[in-house]
Chain A
C-alpha cells in the first residue's frame, strides 16, 4: 500500500504540469473548433447578403460614382491642361503617324495597281485628258483615287441669306442658320477684302471645301469632301449652271429640294 501511495504521489509529481498543459490545449482546441463552427454557420447566412450587397454596389457604381468621377476628372484635366496635352501628345502623334502610314500604304497600293494597268483603255483616256487639259497625269490619277464627294448643297437668297433649298447627306445643325451664317461671312469678306464686282468663291476648312457659285439673286454653296482642284471646280460649275438653267427659275422651293436630291443624290458629279 505504501508502495502504491508512493507511486501515485510520484505520478502526480511528474504528470501534474503535463496534465495542466493538455487541459489548456484541449480548451484552446475546443474554443477554436467552436469559432470555426460559428464562422461556418455565420458564413452560410452572411455570405449571400454580402454577395448581394457587392453586386448592388457594383451595379450602382456607374450611376452613383460616375458623375462624380467624370466631374473630378474634368476638373483635374482643366486644372492641368498643359500636362495632359504633354502626356497625350506623343500618343496621339503616334496614332496619327500610324494612320497616315496606313493611308499612304493603301494609296501606294492603288497607284501601283493603276500603273500596272498602264496600257488599259482608262490609262490612255487619262493620258489624252492630261494632254488636252494641260493637267499632269499624276494629278488626274490622284483625283481618280481620292473620290471627291458632295456632302451638302445650299441654294441661298443673296440679299436676305434665306435658304431656298437644301440637299444634305449628313445631319448638321439648322440649315437655315447655316445659310444665314454663310451669307454673313460671304458679305463680310466681300465688303472687307474684295473690291468691285468680285465675289467670295470658296471657303476651305480641314478636309472640306465650300464651293460658292453666284447667280443674280441667289448663290449656291456646295460642301465638298476630297480633292477640290481646277478640273473638279470646272465640272461642278458647269453642273450647277445646268441645274440653275433647268430648275431654279421655274420651280417652287419645295420642288427645288427634290430636284437637288434627284440630281446630286450620289454626291458624285
Chain B
C-alpha cells in the first residue's frame, strides 16, 4: 500500500538542500520557478517492503536567513521537516536550536530531522571540534558523496509510516 507524505526541506542559502535531493528524486517540475514562488516540488517513492511504500512529496524551500521569511502557508500540513545546514559555515547553524524549538512549537505533531551537510569538506580534527554540535544532529551528510542521503529518507519514510 502506498501512502503519501509531505516533507519540507529548510535551511540557509547554499547549504546544499537542492543537491541533497537532486539525485534522490523520481519526479520533479523544472526548478526555474523556484525564484518566483520560493519552492521547488519533487517526489520520491520509498519502498519499505514488497507491498508497502511511502510516496514522499518534497517541498524544497528557497534558502533564507530566517524561518520567519518563509511563506508560512507552505509549511502547513507538513509531516516531516528536514533542516539542513552547512557544517563548514557557522552562520548556517547559528540559529539551529532556536529554529528547531520554533518548529516544534508551531508543528508539534511533525517529525523534525537536522542534517549537517558537506561533511566531506571537514578534516578529522574539524569534525572533533564540532562534536558537541554534531551530537544534537540526526545526520551528517554529503550530497557530493551521497553519504547518509538515502538513509535519511528511508528513516523518515519508516517513521512516518508508523
Contact = CB atoms under 8 A, between A and B. Distances in A.
> Are both chains from one complex?
yes
B41 A163 contact: no
Given A163-B4, A177-B27, A177-B28, A187 B77 contact: no
Interface of A: 157-163, 173-174, 176-177, 180-181, 184-185, 187-188, 190-191
Contacts of B42: 177
B20 interface: no
B10 to A, nearest CB: 15
Contacts of A173: 27, 29
A180 B6 CA distance: 9
Given A159-B76, A187-B71, A188-B38, A181 B29 contact: yes
Contacts of A187: 71, 73-74
B27 A160 contact: no
B148 interface: no
Contact of A184 (B4, B27, B59, B78): B59
Contacts of A174: 26-27, 43
Interface residues of B, number: 24
A180 B41 contact: yes
B57 A177 contact: yes
Contact of A176 (B55, B72, B76): B55
29 contacts: A158-B77, A159-B76, A160-B6, A160-B76, A160-B77, A160-B78, A160-B79, A162-B6, A174-B26, A174-B27, A176-B4, A176-B43, A177-B27, A177-B28, A177-B41, A177-B42, A177-B43, A180-B6, A180-B57, A180-B59, A184-B39, A184-B41, A184-B59, A184-B74, A187-B71, A187-B74, A188-B39, A188-B71, A191-B71
Contact of A181 (B26, B41, B77): B41
A185 B31 CA distance: 14
B32 to A, nearest CB: 13
Interface string B2-36: 00111000000000000000000011110000000
Contacts of B78: 160
Contacts of A177: 27-29, 41-43, 57
A173 B78 CA distance: 23
B97 to A, nearest CB: 27
